[in-house]
Amino acid sequence: MKFFHLLCLNFLLVVTLQAGSFTKTSGDILAVAIPLGAYATTFYMDDNEGQYQFYKSYGTTLATTGILKLAVDEERPDGDGEDSFPSGHTSSAFSGASFIHLRYGFKYAIIPYLAAAYTGYTRVETDRHYTKDVLAGAAIGVLSSWIFVDKYENVSLEPIIDKDFKGVNFIISY
């Protein structure tokens, strides 16, 4: 898992250095990285049911966002396109964060939620969306997860932090 984290961090650094705006680029990356991390977690947990729930919730998020973009036809604040409402970046990020929250627990979703909120901030800050676009995108992502995602029962992960040891306690109940 550490390798995956280092790979993502390296990718973020390389793309950011090549891009003009850290704010825009980091939002672009998080919009993909958060749901990708949520999906990867289902493999780490060997959670086939969670994978199926992810497909339904994330697919609903993408479809709803896409349909609304076509139906509402709102101009972006920077004038570049007529697909401002709702924010796809934000709906994607919040879909991943809320999947982790609802499937595996809130304590694992704190950082993804903060990153999703930052993603929404980047969309407004870079004049790609209005605040209402971001709020609608967040609501779509969260509601899609609330509809399709159930808590992962019988298994828990607990962090173990000691001065000489750091790890994760994986518990399966029968």
Chain segment 60-90, per-residue pLDDT in tens: 999 999 999 999 989 999 999 899 999 999 9
Domain that holds residue 136: 23-150
Whether residue 3 is contained in a domain is answered as: no
Name every residue whose Cβ is closer than 8 Å to that of residue 70 and which is 6 or more positions away in sequence: 83
- Residue 90 is assigned to a structural domain of this protein: yes
Q: What's the whole-model pTM score?
A: 0.78
pLDDT in tens, 89-100: 999 999 999 999
- Asked whether residue 7 is domain-assigned, the answer is no
* Dihedral angle, C-alpha 140, 52, 37, 167, nearest 10 °: 130
Residue 113 falls inside a structural domain: yes
Inside any domain, residue 122: yes
**pLDDT value of position 167:** 75
- Confidence (pLDDT) at 172: 58
The mean per-residue pLDDT over the stretch 2-22 comes to: 53
Q: Can you tell me the distance from the alpha carbon of 70 to that of 59, in angstroms, rounded to the nearest whole number?
A: 17
Distance of CA 29 to the CA centre of its chain: 10
Please compute the mean of the pLDDT values over residues 5-21 and round it to a whole number.
52
Q: How confident is the model at residue 155 (pLDDT cuts 50, 70, 90)?
A: low
Instruction: Dihedral sign for Cα 40, 154, 145, 115, please.
Output: negative
| Residue 164, in any domain of the structure | no
Residue 16 domain-assigned? no
Within-domain flag for 102: yes
Domain count, the chain: 1
Report pLDDT for 1: 46
